[in-house]
Amino acid sequence: MADPESAVEVQGTVAVRGTVASDPDALVAQIERTRESLAQTIDTLAERVSPAGNMRRLRERALEQASRPEVRLAAAAIGLAVVGVAILRIWGRRRK
């Protein structure tokens, strides 16, 4: 990577977003804006592919789904069925 303290001499004109800029300060400002934009893009991509970020999003989605009434009702019905089967098995073993 280039040394940020090193001096660069700009000669002539440079096209900046379709316009011609002959001002070195304008060129440096455009480079800084581009660098900042690239840094934000990289941060966004890093967050999108990070395992911790994926787990956080998955946990949030699961909690959001679990708060829905139909999901709670289904979970209660499954729990009741499991308890019922367990009671029947225990009762069946005691009768033998």
Q: For residues 95 and 32, give the distance between their C-alpha atoms in angstroms, rounded to a whole number.
A: 82
Residue 87 near residue 93, CB atoms below 8 Å: no
Domain boundaries, the chain: 1-49
pLDDT in single tens digits along all 96 residues of the chain: 455 566 555 555 555 555 556 788 888 999 999 999 999 999 999 888 888 888 999 999 999 998 999 999 999 999 999 999 999 999 988 876
Q: For residues 18 and 15, give the distance between their C-alpha atoms in angstroms, rounded to a whole number.
A: 6
Say which DSSP state 77 is in: H
Q: For residues 44 and 50, give the distance between their C-alpha atoms in angstroms, rounded to a whole number.
A: 10
pTM greater than 0.95 (yes/no): no
